[in-house]
């Protein structure tokens, strides 16, 4: 058993802070937010990114070690435990408005950071049990259609005008929210309907229909046991989780485009078509999601095996800091457009030389 796997237990700190948030009032309810959006971004300004890749022997050891998988399974279970504590915690009398807001934001952080992100990692697996866990994890954030659109739409169309999850150059994140949420949802319906049509399946096997039924039942159960107000709080937390995911999508592909090779066809997705970050805290807390260039280059590669590519464009800081930066569009454009220009010039020269040769 590879002892290195235990470093991915570090995200449990979010759940420890969330437990405090869901059982206390006042400033305590904001501890996960302070940790995620203040302490980690500041620390990543001083901690050097780690570009080192595993050796072939280390990679083979990590590939065979099931502990990496078991950790993900545990986080799915812990997510639902945290959700129950969040929902039941509102029975506490005298909870302040600031405390309620802090708890909602903290649960939203868990929805986006773990509910959707762990669901994303497991959603790329071929094992049915792991795919079931992926859908359950996504259900905790009411974003089950992500399983369909991300795997069968986003990875096919990434960095092209056809992908609603790839941000255009000079597109503010607030505009991106509306475009990606709406058109990703419609894309998921299109994909699910096409599968039914091509495979001649009965309507009840439509994945989008199934997802909606499951999520409606899930919300109804929360309403029945915890009441309308708590259900509204959960819906608000789920929305925060969704916005966090889409902010991540925004920074991962901002302004990068694959070249068209024909009518509706594009060059293969390569490491230079996604923004990368080797900042170690973000990598650990998000199960290596920030090594996104390699993820799109080889989507089947498990999180512990993701690699650094020299040709991949690098974000100015880790994911938390970059997400905060994206919320200030003028500053984001000023920093990132220069990076796009500086990155594209040598890339274009290299491609031109390769064509000549």
**Which pLDDT score is estimated for 354?**
44
Closest CA to 177 of 237, 245, 238: 245
**Which pLDDT score is estimated for 341?**
92
Q: What share of the chain in percent tops pLDDT 90?
A: 92
* Whole-prediction pTM: 0.94
Residue 355 pLDDT more than 70?
no
User: pLDDT digit string (tens) for 75-105?
Assistant: 999 999 999 999 999 998 999 999 999 999 9
User: pLDDT digit string (tens) for 4-63?
Assistant: 889 999 999 999 999 999 999 999 999 999 999 999 999 999 999 999 999 999 999 999
User: pLDDT digit string (tens) for 280-331?
Assistant: 999 999 999 999 999 999 999 999 999 999 999 999 999 999 999 999 999 9
Domain positions in the chain = 3-356
**Which pLDDT score is estimated for 348?**
55
Residue 261 pLDDT more than 60?
yes
Confidence of residue 3 (pLDDT cuts 50, 70, 90): confident
Closest CA to 323 of 44, 101, 130: 44
Residue 346 pLDDT more than 80?
no
**Which pLDDT score is estimated for 255?**
96
The mean per-residue pLDDT over the stretch 259-277 comes to 92
User: pLDDT digit string (tens) for 119-158?
Assistant: 999 999 999 999 999 999 999 999 999 999 999 999 999 9
User: pLDDT digit string (tens) for 182-230?
Assistant: 999 999 999 999 999 999 999 999 999 999 999 999 999 999 999 999 9
**Which pLDDT score is estimated for 263?**
81
Burial of 88 (C-beta count, 10 Å sphere; 0-12/13-18/19+): middle
What own/partner pairs with CB < 8 Å and gap ≥ 24 does 258-266 have?
258/158, 258/159, 258/160, 260/160, 264/162, 266/159, 266/160
**Which pLDDT score is estimated for 1?**
55
């Amino acid at each position: 058993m590879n002892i290195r796997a235990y470093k991915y237990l570090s995200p449990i700190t979010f759940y420890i802070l969330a437990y405090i948030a869901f059982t206390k009032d006042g400033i305590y309810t904001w501890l996960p937010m302070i940790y995620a959006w203040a302490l980690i971004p500041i620390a990543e300004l001083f901690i050097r990114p780690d570009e080192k890749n595993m050796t072939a022997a280390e990679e083979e050891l990590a590939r065979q070690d099931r502990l990496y998988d078991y950790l993900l399974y545990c986080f799915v279970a812990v997510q639902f435990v945290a959700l129950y504590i969040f929902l039941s915690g509102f029975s506490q009398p005298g909870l302040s408005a600031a405390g309620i807001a802090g708890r909602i934001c903290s649960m939203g952080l868990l929805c986006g950071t773990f509910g959707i992100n762990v669901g994303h990692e497991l959603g790329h697996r071929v094992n049915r049990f792991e795919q079931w866990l992926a859908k359950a994890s996504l259900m905790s954030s009411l974003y089950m259609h992500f399983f369909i659109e991300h795997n069968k739409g986003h990875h096919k169309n990434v960095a092209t005008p056809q992908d609603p999850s790839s941000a255009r150059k000079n597109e503010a994140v607030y505009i991106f929210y509306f475009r990606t949420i709406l058109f990703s949802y419609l894309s998921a319906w299109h994909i699910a309907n096409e599968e039914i049509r091509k495979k001649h399946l009965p309507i009840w096997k439509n994945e989008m229909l199934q997802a909606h039924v499951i999520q409606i039942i899930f919300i109804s159960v929360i309403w029945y046991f915890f009441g309308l107000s708590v259900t509204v709080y959960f819906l608000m937390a789920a929305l925060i989780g969704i916005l966090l995911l889409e902010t991540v999508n925004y920074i991962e592909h901002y302004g990068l485009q694959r070249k068209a090779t024909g009518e509706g066809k594009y060059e293969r997705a390569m490491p230079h078509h996604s923004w990368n970050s080797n900042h170690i805290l973000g990598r650990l807390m998000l199960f290596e999601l920030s090594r996104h260039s390699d993820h799109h280059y080889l989507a089947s590669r498990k999180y512990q095996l993701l690699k650094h590519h020299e040709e991949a464009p690098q974000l100015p800081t880790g994911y938390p800091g970059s997400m905060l930066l994206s919320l200030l569009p003028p500053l984001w454009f000023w920093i990132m457009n220069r990076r796009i220009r500086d990155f594209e010039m040598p890339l274009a020269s290299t491609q031109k030389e390769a064509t000549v040769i």
